[in-house]
C-alpha cells in the first residue's frame, strides 16, 4: 500500500444508525454534531437493504487513476501496470451529485430482534465501511472479541462517561479513514506514482488547520499550480497554492519573461509572494493586484511556501455543486421515508 500522510481528496460522507428502539435513535440523533449527515433505521433489514443496495460508483482504480507506460514493453504474465493519479477525475468528484451520499460509517446496536449487531456487520458488503457497535455491559466481552477478529472497527459502551463525545470523535476519524482506504485500495495491487505533497506531514497539518480555521468541509488536490481546491458547506471555493523552491523558480522565470517588475520576480522566487492561480496576470500590467503574501510551511522538505486565495473574489468561477448544505437539506426531506 502506498505510504501517504494525506488522501488527495476529502468530502463528508453519510452515517447509518441502526437500533430497534426508535426513541433511542431519536435521542441519539440529537447528540450528533449538527453538521453530520445521517440516516436512522429501526429495521436491520431495511438498513442492510439501503447499505448493500446502493450502486457503487466504481473502484478507486477506475475512478482516480490512469494507466501510464512503464517503458519496458513487458506484456507477459509478470507485467504490472503502473498507475498515476488523475487530477481531472478528482475535480469531477467535486461536481459529483452523489459524493456526500457515500456511506462511511455504520453505528449498530448489539441486541436487536431481527439480527444482532455483529451479524448485521458481517452482512455489510462494502469492506471500507467502518463499523461501530453500541454495546451494554453484558455484551462487552462479545464486542472485544468482534473487534479482535476485525468484524467491527470500534465498540462504544452506551452508558460510559462522555459517550457522545467519544462517538462524534470516532465518526470524524472514520470518515477520514474511509476516504483514505477507498483511495489506497488500488495501491495494494498496482504500483502507483503519488505526488510528493501527499507524503509530507507538514502539508497534512496545514490542510487540517485550514479546514478548521476557514470552515472548509471538502478538498481536492490540484496542479498548475500545485496545491488544493477547498469548498465550504455553502459550496464557495478557495485555492491554496503550495510551491517548492524549484516550482517558485519556474514561476519567477515565466513572470520575468512576461515583463513582470523585478520586485515581483524576486518575491515569487523567494516565496514571499505568490500569484493568484485564477487571474490572467501574464496578460495584464497590474502584477501586484494579483499576488498574495507567501508563508513558510514549517519543517516541510523542499522549502515549501504556501498562500490561500478566495476563488469567488478573483474570478475563478468554480463552485462545488451540489453543496454540502444542499445535501443536508435534501437528506432532511427524504430521511424518514427511508426508515
d(CA 270, CA 69): 36
Look at residue 339 in the predicted model and tell me its pLDDT: 62
| pLDDT tens track, the chain, 339 positions | 457 889 999 999 999 999 999 999 999 999 999 999 999 999 999 999 999 987 665 555 567 888 776 654 455 555 556 778 888 888 888 888 889 999 999 999 999 998 999 999 999 999 999 999 998 766 888 999 999 999 999 999 888 889 999 999 999 999 999 999 888 876 666 677 788 899 999 999 999 999 999 999 999 999 989 999 999 999 999 999 999 999 999 999 999 998 899 999 999 999 999 999 887 666 666 888 889 999 999 877 778 999 999 886 544 456 677 899 999 999 988 766 566
**Same domain as 123, residue 200:** no
Nearest residue to 293 via CA among 316, 271, 323, 266: 271
pTM: 0.89
Look at residue 240 in the predicted model and tell me its pLDDT: 96
**Same domain as 180, residue 274:** no
**Same domain as 261, residue 125:** no
**Same domain as 29, residue 170:** yes
**Same domain as 121, residue 220:** no
Look at residue 75 in the predicted model and tell me its pLDDT: 52
**Same domain as 76, residue 222:** no
**Same domain as 40, residue 158:** yes
**Same domain as 206, residue 186:** no
**Same domain as 187, residue 206:** no
| 334 within a domain of the structure (yes/no) | no
d(CA 175, CA 16): 12
**Same domain as 141, residue 100:** yes
**Domain termination site, one of 192, 210, 237:** 192
- Give the structural domain span for 104: 9-192
Number of domains in the chain: 2
Look at residue 48 in the predicted model and tell me its pLDDT: 96
Name the residue with cell 506531514.
201
| 296 within a domain of the structure (yes/no) | yes
Domain CATH code at residue 144: 3.40.50.2300
| 317 within a domain of the structure (yes/no) | no
Look at residue 58 in the predicted model and tell me its pLDDT: 54
Amino acid at each position: 500500500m502506498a505510504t501517504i500522510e494525506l488522501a488527495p481528496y476529502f468530502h463528508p460522507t453519510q452515517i447509518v444508525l441502526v437500533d430497534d428502539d426508535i426513541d433511542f435513535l431519536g435521542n441519539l440523533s440529537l447528540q450528533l454534531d449538527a453538521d453530520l449527515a445521517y440516516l436512522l433505521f429501526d429495521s436491520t433489514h431495511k438498513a442492510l437493504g439501503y447499505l448493500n443496495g446502493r450502486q457503487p460508483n466504481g473502484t478507486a482504480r477506475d475512478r482516480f487513476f490512469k494507466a501510464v507506460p512503464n517503458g519496458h514493453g513487458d506484456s507477459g504474465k509478470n507485467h504490472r501496470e503502473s498507475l498515476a493519479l488523475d487530477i481531472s477525475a478528482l475535480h469531477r468528484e467535486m461536481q459529483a451529485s452523489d459524493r456526500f451520499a457515500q456511506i462511511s460509517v455504520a453505528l449498530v446496536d448489539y441486541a436487536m430482534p431481527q439480527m444482532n449487531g455483529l451479524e448485521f456487520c458481517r452482512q455489510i458488503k462494502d469492506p471500507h465501511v467502518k463499523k461501530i457497535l453500541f454495546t451494554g455491559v453484558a455484551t462487552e466481552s462479545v464486542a472485544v472479541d468482534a473487534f479482535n477478529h476485525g468484524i467491527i472497527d470500534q465498540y462504544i459502551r452506551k452508558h460510559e462517561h462522555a459517550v457522545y463525545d467519544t462517538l462524534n470523535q470516532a465518526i470524524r476519524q472514520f470518515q477520514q479513514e474511509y476516504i483514505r482506504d477507498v483511495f489506497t485500495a488500488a495501491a495494494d495491487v498496482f504500483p502507483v506514482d503519488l505526488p510528493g505533497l501527499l507524503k509530507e506531514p507538514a502539508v497534512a497539518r496545514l490542510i487540517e488547520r485550514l479546514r478548521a480555521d476557514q470552515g472548509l468541509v471538502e478538498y481536492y488536490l490540484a496542479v498548475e499550480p500545485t496545491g488544493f481546491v477547498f469548498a465550504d458547506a455553502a459550496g464557495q471555493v478557495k485555492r491554496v497554492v503550495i510551491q517548492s523552491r524549484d516550482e517558485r523558480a519556474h514561476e519567477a522565470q515565466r513572470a520575468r519573461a512576461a515583463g513582470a517588475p523585478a520586485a515581483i520576480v524576486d518575491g515569487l522566487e523567494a516565496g514571499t509572494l505568490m500569484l493568484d492561480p485564477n487571474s490572467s496576470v501574464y496578460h495584464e500590467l497590474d502584477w501586484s493586484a494579483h499576488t498574495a503574501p507567501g508563508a513558510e510551511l514549517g519543517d516541510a522538505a523542499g522549502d515549501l511556501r504556501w498562500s490561500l486565495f478566495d476563488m469567488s473574489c478573483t474570478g475563478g468561477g468554480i463552485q462545488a455543486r451540489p453543496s454540502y448544505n444542499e445535501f443536508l437539506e435534501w437528506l432532511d426531506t427524504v430521511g424518514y421515508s427511508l426508515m
